[in-house]
Amino acid sequence: MAPQTIPGEMFAITYGCLVVELIKDYENVEDVNAQLDKMGFNIGLRIADDFLSKNINVGKCTDMKQLSEVLAKTALKTYLGVTGQVTSWSAGGDECSIIIDSNPLTEFVEIPDKYNGLKYSQIICGAIRGALEAMHMDVIVVLVDDVPNPTEIRLKFNRIIRENVPAGEDE
């Protein structure tokens, strides 16, 4: 099955409608942010296998540099059509940022003042967190900056989810 593609604009509009519906449902940007993250998490749990089954050369990531490169260069390219830049490493090497200069989700978006605090691209953070959890890694993913600036996602490695690691994958 060849990968299916849709126009980025259709994807952006659909996502925009989703966000607006959530705002109507919850009337509270904190709740909307939480729901976007939850939806993203559920997407991530499933998308991990899609990504791995079609990218055979992506093996197990054994450090944060490798992980962030796969996310920014391969995964984001596959699902959003853009690559990210990995920057702002912490001294310990367990924390970094991924900058998405031209996020297709936010291309046409201006957020009114009354929705200040809305994290428009939170679903990407949830998806990354869910996908990494499917691969038994607990990573804290925070949306640092968004509309109208380039999207910045902060990743901090927390721990290997030891109880979930499949046999043979734990060394």
Binding site for another protein (CB under 8 A): 1, 45-50, 52-54, 56, 59-60, 134-136, 164-169, 171
- Closest distance of CB 114 from another protein, Å: 32
- Closest distance of CB 93 from another protein, Å: 22
Cis preceding linkage at 166, omega within 30: no
Angle between helices 29-54 and 8-26 (to 10 degrees): 140
Nearest CB to another protein, comparing residues 84 and 130: 130
- Closest distance of CB 45 from another protein, Å: 6
- Report CA-CA distances (Å) from 78 to 47, 72, 82, 90: 11, 10, 8, 27
- Closest distance of CB 171 from another protein, Å: 5
Q: Could you tell me which residues are beta bridge partners of residue 159?
A: 138
Nearest CB to another protein, comparing residues 5 and 53: 53
- Closest distance of CB 139 from another protein, Å: 15
Cα(32)–Cα(20) distance, integer angstroms: 9
Retrieve residue 30's tokens.
């904190």
At residue 26, the 3 state secondary structure works out as helix
Nearest CB to another protein, comparing residues 30 and 169: 169
Q: What does R_g of the chain's alpha carbons equal in angstroms?
A: 16
Nearest CB to another protein, comparing residues 10 and 56: 56
Nearest CB to another protein, comparing residues 55 and 87: 55
